[in-house]
Amino acid sequence: MESRLRRLEAVQSMLLEIGQQSVSCTDIALFLQAVHAALGRIMYAANFYVALNDRDGEDNSVRFVYFVDVLDDAPDPGQLVKLASPEQSPTAWVILNRQPLVMTAEEHISRETGGAFGQGTVAEHWMGCPLLDQNHQILGAIVIQSYDAAHTYSEEDQALFALIANYVSSALQGLQSMDRLERAVRERTLRLEHEVAERRRAENLQRALYEIASLSASASDAGVLYRRLHEIISELVTARNFLIALYHPDSAEISIPYFVDEKDAEAPVKRFHYGIGMSSYILQRKQAQLLDGPAYAALRAAGEIDEPLGNEDIRSWMGAPMLLGDRAYGVIIVQSYDASVLYSQADLDILAFMASHVAVAIARMQADRAIRRAKDTLEEQNAALNTALTQLQEAQSELVRQEKLASLGRLVAGVAHEINTPLGICVTATSHLVQELKLTKEDLAAGQLDEDGLNAFFDTIDQSLRIMTTNTQRAAALVRSFKQVAVDQSSDNIRNFHLRKYLDEVLLSLQPKLKGKPVKVEVDCAADIQLDSFPGAISQIVTNMVMNSLVHGFEEGQSGSIKISGKSDGEHIQFDYSDDGIGMDSSLLGQLFDPFFTTKRGSGGSGLGAHILYNLVTGPLGGTIKVVSAPGMGLHYHLRFPRDQRKKPA
């Protein structure tokens, strides 16, 4: 009676301990270990195991989460075991029938009619109870067995074991819920860590792409660009051994502008023919490649790689082509000599992705360099053109100045020739008068001078003086006109003058050129039109117009007329000039104002007359000029310019 009471106290203590362990313990294996220890205090429990259904995995599968046996080896607690049929396994019988099972060795053997009943050693006494949750759903089975005939289980033991199984079921239900929750938390944490890693990886990629784009726009030195590319890619994958190879299609060569290696201080070959080395292997296939040591050796043995360059003692190797469309710019290669650094497909994808963007950066940098070279070339060409234009303008200015001086020289020669006639007449008249005076004095001394002789002498004096007066006035007018025109042509000053009077002076200075030619000049201009302008410009314009008409408009001996008209419409002067000469067709008329254009090349034409005329009208006078002509209809100029140049805006 006393031993029975102690056993009941031990059972009560065990059940209390199971309840406490279910609250404090979070690991099922540790909980079952405590149950096993407590069970051993009330009955023989040297061989004890618990099989639990895998509710989150495959159907009809169990895990032996706790297994202690003196004869049989314990299965892996994490391994799923397919549940046998009730006729093949006592554990499956308990789980599938949801009923306890107690067997002796004889009863065990008697069940092996169609084959082995269970996989372990046959026990002298085997006892198993189902583990059921509060909804009477199966959780698994708890089993205790004895291989010693001296240790068997009584009906009281069986009842106690069933009771303990109920308590263990309740505790396991809570522990499994906690375990499932912890597994869900761990799985969710792993997923979150993966998502964070993927997001961080995406952010790193985005930052790397931004830095590459910025670098291609700002880096002027290719060495700086390649070094920074190495640093950027090293932030994404391990790249202690790194090289950039550029492809030159024009020479069918590959160059190595950037090379960093743990075993070689410099690239073994910095420029080589396309077709050899791993760079050529990648470019030929235009696909990223991932190799390890054996794969690299197999390619070498198969002859896929011709003349490998550099150290071949590699553990892992990646190469990606820098492609933009169908154009290959080169290759990026990363390799590892360390067995602990092995590249994955994800690393290869990153390298290939970066290589495509590096190709864009290199293409942009090359395009910028080409644009800068073209810009420098254009600037040099523009500078040369500006220099040539300046020299041309200086030459033209010099030629224009020389043409003005030549025109003035021709004017001087004509005026000198024209003045020579009246002055010659005056000299002749003076000589005649001196001779008559001498004869008269001789007659007077001889007493032979009579009234008729004195009257004849007076007539001679009167006639000679009239001749001298007329011709000296004519010469004085020529000199005065020439002086004013010559001063105006050599001066850029503004002065006030009457247009009609000035036109007469200019035409008077041109009389030597018009003399002897059957060309009549008519002037239609009011005498009261006053200008505050550049008389030299107007003198030069009229001179050039008349000379062009005489040289180009009329053939030798051809009669004709020139009409000059000047009118004022308030603040502007309307100036028209026309001749009835041979005229010009449209092709020649389009070149009229071009410098050095002339229809009388080699016959006295310089090709600057009309050009100077145009520049004077549009320049100093600040006006406009239009010209109309046709073959046989002569040439007509229409000029319009301000009357007062002092009011003209600067």
**E strand or H helix at 476:** helix 451-489
**E strand or H helix at 106:** helix 105-110
Which residues, in sequence order, are CB contacts of 105 under 8 Å at separation 6+?
122, 123, 124, 125
Average pLDDT over residues 293-309: 79
pLDDT over 80 (residue 92) = yes
Give the DSSP letter string of 353-413: HHHHHHHHHHHHHHHHHHHHHHHHHHHHHHHHHHHHHHHHHHHHHHHHHHHHHHHHHHHHH
For residue 547, the model assigns a pLDDT of 86
Higher-confidence residue: 114 or 387?
387
pLDDT over 90 (residue 130) = yes
For residue 202, the model assigns a pLDDT of 67
Helix 609-618 to helix 345-446 angle (10° resolution) is 100
Higher-confidence residue: 370 or 58?
370
Mean pLDDT of the chain: 81
**pTM exceeds cut of 0.85:** no
Average pLDDT over residues 354-377: 82
